[in-house]
Amino acid sequence: MSGSPADGLPAPRRYWVLAGLWIGMAMSVLDSAIVNIALPPMARDLMVSSASTTWIVTAYQIAIVMTLLPVAALGERCGYHRVYLGGLILFTLMSAGCAFASRLDVLTACRFAQGLGAAAMMGVNGAQMRFVWPKALLGRGIGYNALVIAGAAAAGPGLAGVILSFGNWPWLFLVNIPLGLIVLLLVIGFAPDIAPVTRLFDWQSALLNAIMFGALFLTASDVVHGGLSFWSVGQGLLGIMVGMLLVRRVRSVARPLIPLDLMGLGRLRRAYGASICAFAAQMCALVSLPFLMMHHLNVSAATVGLLILPFPVGLGLISPIAGGLAERNWSGLMSALGLCLMAAALMAMASLLSSRPPLAALVLAMALCGIGFGLFQAPNNRVMLVTAPLDRAGAAAGMLSLCRLLGQTAGALMAALVLRFMESEAVVALYMAACIALGAACQARRR
């Protein structure tokens, strides 16, 4: 449906669009986590080693990181609606390809292409939110968006377990097909088709961006998993050199792929820094906690899942409230206090785990972590979307998703390093996460 709304969409059209966008976002987030639990049966059915199956996860992640900013810029050039539809169709088709793949190389290639589709959906999702929600309600809408992302991330392992209890691993991908068709009908029928805001697209910057992030991502993964070699060092140097070329190029471009124009705004720069640090703290804690709980409490994986569940529940409950308060002048203070609460809860858990505490205490600490993170996320996301000029909504949305992915990747790598080199003292990861959260609080307060 065409039409560029001046200030959001009227109800009930708005709700039909949001239903489609949120289902699509949930699908793309779920597929980042839902496959992990199925790697052992995949290795068995494809007759490959367990280590080789990690490429099924890595291919999806690297495709998103490599192309998130380019597809956001493409949304400004071709229209956010068209880019989203293209990503949705690719994601759905490649889900079918993954389900019917009979070899690891085919499955990995389909996962990479599926990641490209997910990047297109993520890269313009925030920009579409600016045209769907009335400006006065945008903060609340961003809070609901955070709820969808948190809920999908938390539901991933449990949903995978349910699906695998009724069928084999291809069903993890087949469920995307009917959902993708529903989203397609909703978005085609109700979403606004916003006209492109520019005729420019810097293909050279897009290529350099993909090479830079791909090389650096693979190098970091090799280092963490003990595979450092001359090849890895070469990849790292390639990523750095290409990154330098990219920065040099975008400085002379009117609409830079890496949005230096947005980074030049102090408020946005601090919001980006706070987002990266906060998500790094979140992921560092969530990756290390299952190992810590199993070691110190001697509980099953299912129990660990229940103990971690209060984090997304707390985040989900507080996010709409925090979103509704995001327009207030003191929202920066609210964000900072939320991260301080998260840091305090993480330090409390680190102390508790050493003394075999009652599980109720850990449940409370996890819930406080989620509440603290929720108080930060929705107001900070609103700053990242609204502060940017409307004709740079695509770049702003791309940066919002990129900050989340960069923070989560950094946090997971930090947790992996601690678990590898300090396994007996892995509780250090929680103290690290708390310190990073406090650093994010400083950035959020100054925003």
Q: Exposed (0-12), middle (13-18) or buried (19+): which is 12, by Cβ within 10 Å?
A: exposed
Q: Which residues of the chain have pLDDT under 50?
A: none
Phi-psi label, residue 125: left if phi above 0, alpha if psi -120 to 50, beta otherwise: alpha
CA–chain centroid gap for 307, Å, is: 22
Residue 423: the pLDDT is 61
CATH no. for residue 12?
Answer: 1.20.1250.20
For residues 105 and 209, membership in a common domain is answered with no
For residues 192 and 207, membership in a common domain is answered with no
For residues 437 and 371, membership in a common domain is answered with yes
For residues 65 and 212, membership in a common domain is answered with no
For residues 300 and 171, membership in a common domain is answered with no
Out of 252, 275, 291, a domain closes at 252
Residue 75: the pLDDT is 86
> Which amino acid belongs to residue 311?
F
The tokens describing 160, both together, are 């995978």
- Say how many domains are in the chain: 3
pTM: 0.76
- What stretches of 358-392 show up as alpha helix (H) in DSSP? 359-386
For residues 274 and 228, membership in a common domain is answered with no
For residues 431 and 356, membership in a common domain is answered with yes
Residue 271: the pLDDT is 92
Q: Which residues pair with 193 in a beta bridge?
A: 2
For residues 266 and 214, membership in a common domain is answered with no
Out of 182, 201, 220, a domain closes at 201
Residue written as tokens 């925003």?
447
For residues 2 and 108, membership in a common domain is answered with yes
For residues 291 and 400, membership in a common domain is answered with yes
Residue written as tokens 């001697």?
298
For residues 429 and 285, membership in a common domain is answered with yes
Q: Count Cβ atoms below 10 Å from residue 148 Cβ, excluding itself.
A: 19
Phi-psi label, residue 388: left if phi above 0, alpha if psi -120 to 50, beta otherwise: beta
Residue 51: the pLDDT is 59
Out of 252, 273, 292, a domain closes at 252
Residue written as tokens 């959906």?
121
Domain assignment of residue 368, given as a range: 259-447
**What's the rounded Cα separation, in Å, for the pair 30 and 26?**
6
Q: Which of 262, 292, 299 is nearest to 399 (CA)?
A: 262
For residues 128 and 215, membership in a common domain is answered with no
Phi-psi label, residue 79: left if phi above 0, alpha if psi -120 to 50, beta otherwise: left
